[in-house]
Amino acid sequence: MAEQAKQAGQTKLAGQAGPGKQAGQAEKSPRAGQAGESTRAEQHHGISRRRLLGTAGAAGAAGLVAGGAAGAFGAEAVRDAPAALAGVGSATLPFHGTHQAGIAEPAQAHGHLVAFDLAPGADRKAAAALLRRWSATAAELAAGEAPKGDDTGIALDAGPSSLTVTFGFGRSFFDRTGLTAKRPAALEPLPDFTADALDRKRSDGDLWVQIGADDSLVAFHALRLLQKQAAGTARVRWQMNGFNRSPGATARPLTGRNLMGQMDGTNNPKPSDPDFASRVFVPDRDGDWMAGGSYAVVRRIRMLLDSWDHLSLERQEKVIGRRKSDGAPLSGGTETTPVDLTKIEKDGSLAIAGDAHIRVAAPESNRGAAMLRRAFSYHDGFLDDGAPDAGLLFVAWQADPLKGFVPVQRKLDRGDGLSRFLRHEASGLYAVPGGCAPGEYVGQRLLEG
């Protein structure tokens, strides 16, 4: 009976989306509170988490009733019953706002990073039309609405699943569209680092899109629609696919782990920090078209996992400066205890080694330089020597890369114990404009200003 009720509930969920809508459209994201974006989501939808859970609970109860009804009256009765999605599918992060979505919210379980080059002859007007099409589609998908004319069916039955789509411009975009005079100084090419083994074909690009969702079909659907809409104007230059832990996979919300097994993201700037906005977002100065925007540094960093896995747990923890089990700093306390870089052990050694990753990367070691890291793991199979082609799609967000990624990576390049286990294989730097209001499109101030 329990199994029957579960199946009936699923049928009901599948049948819930009305015409022009995908399932579970209007609920707020359960992720939003984690990243301080709850106000954004709540203002937009005015729906509380309690309501979300209440709806899901009611759906469960309705499923039980419907299960009984299916036995008595057949499948039609089940299909017509009102339905609601479970939390993950129904979670919505609004596309419109001061900042683009996909920066301050926690990274989703599935991610696509994709760069496009403009087609020969595609000018500023064509680029503006593309950004207008893309923004409209991203807004519809993020709200759980099916874009007109989309007959792919890829994400039918699923809710928006915290979908975010974030758009950025590479340095080359400005020359190709006659906008060189508007190119921000912050888009100067990144310096060369000794750990770089960059594949130029998988680096840079005129346009960059980051897609994240907690459902893989929802994420792919967005990717496919944007790629189809680019036809004639822009071609995919490179694409990378990543993942994180699925929401609900752990007994309570925890910091995610990377493929080396470490908790990764603990000491990120938090949206509740007083200096979060000034570190991550470009200030509104003199009508700058980048106001409210951010700069994304994207690095495909392969992990030399075979070498890493040979290290003892103690050595691995020393390389990072934190305990693997719970992310606590080796200077003591729990995961969230502030790191004490000055602590000396009884034997006279530093509790956090001189070349420990968290010492070398810390703002205290880099004149306050900080960035928001929002990464996805990747695994693209195994290389000829049997080693995993796996690592981190590192995405760092900052108001100015010269006060974020660049000084920190310079320092890591010289003295980080972790760098022996990493290869930077691809790189990009993108100007990601602020968000837009309904009826507008991302980048409008640049393209029409």
Ligand X SMILES: C=CC1=C(C)c2cc3[nH]c(cc4nc(cc5[nH]c(cc1n2)c(C)c5CCC(=O)O)C(CCC(=O)O)=C4C)c(C)c3C=C
List of residues contacting ligand X (CB under 6 A): 258, 260, 262-267, 299, 301, 303, 320, 322, 339, 357-358, 361-363, 391-392, 394, 405, 408-409, 412, 422
CB of 379 to ligand X, least distance (A): 13
Structure tokens at 276: 């979060």
Alpha helices in 143-252 (DSSP H): 171-176, 216-229
Q: Give the shortest CB-147-to-ligand X separation in angstroms.
A: 36
Contact assessment for residue 393 and residue 399, using Cβ atoms and an 8 Å cutoff:
no
Residue 343 — φ and ψ, nearest 5°? -65, 130
Q: How far apart are CA 115 and CA 166, in angstroms?
A: 12
Q: Considering only the C-alpha atoms of the chain, give the largest distance between any 2 of them, rounded to a whole number of Å.
A: 78
Q: Which is nearer to ligand X, 72 or 194 (CB)?
A: 194
Helix (H) or strand (E) holding 432: strand 422-432
264 noted as active-site residue: yes
What DSSP letter does each residue of 79-127 carry, written as one string? HHS-----HHHH-B--S-SSS-SSSSSPP-SEEEEEEEEEPTT--HHHH
How do beta strands 294-303 and 110-118 pair?
unpaired
The dihedral region occupied by 104, where left means phi > 0, alpha psi between -120 and 50, and beta the remainder, is alpha
CB contact set of 274 (below 8 Å; sequence gap of 6+):
none
CB of 366 to ligand X, least distance (A): 8
CB of 208 to ligand X, least distance (A): 18
Distance (Å, whole) CA 335 – CA 263: 9
Give the residue with the Cβ less far from ligand X, 218 or 303: 303
What region does 436 belong to: left with phi over 0, alpha with psi -120 to 50, or beta? beta
Residue of closest CB approach to ligand X: 267
Closest approach of ligand X to the CB of residue 418, in Å = 6
433 within 8 A of 110, measured Cβ to Cβ: no
SS3 call for 211: strand
The DSSP element (H or E) to which 110 belongs, if any, is strand 110-118
* Closer residue to ligand X (CB): 6 or 315: 315
Which residue number, 40 or 299, has a Cβ lying nearer to ligand X?
A: 299
Measured CA to CA, the distance from residue 390 to residue 309 in angstroms comes to: 13
Name the catalytic one among 204, 264, 355, 416.
264
Q: How far is the CB of 319 from ligand X (least distance, A)?
A: 9
Minimum CB–partner distance for residue 374 and ligand X (Å) = 11
DSSP SS3 for 283:
coil
What angle do helix axes 2-14 and 49-73 make, rounded to 10 degrees? Answer: 110
| Nearest residue (CB) to ligand X, 22 versus 258 | 258
Residue 209 CB, shortest distance to ligand X, in Å, is 22
For residue 227, which of 243, 239, 212 has the smallest C-alpha distance?
Answer: 239
Q: Would you say 88 or 301 has its CB closer to ligand X? A: 301
Residue 338: exposed, middle, or buried by beta-carbon count in 10 A (0-12, 13-18, 19+)?
Answer: exposed
Cβ 31 vs Cβ 162: under 8 Å: yes
Shortest distance, position 260 Cβ to ligand X, whole Å: 5
C-alpha to C-alpha distances, 299 to 236, 274, 313, 390, 425, nearest whole angstrom? 18, 28, 27, 13, 7
Contact 214, 91 (CB under 8 A): yes
Q: How far is CA 404 from the centre of its chain?
A: 18
Partner residues linked to 28 by β-bridges: 92
Which residue, 24 or 329, has its beta carbon nearer to ligand X? 329
- Closer of 71 and 253 to ligand X (Cβ): 253
Q: Which residues are catalytic?
A: 264
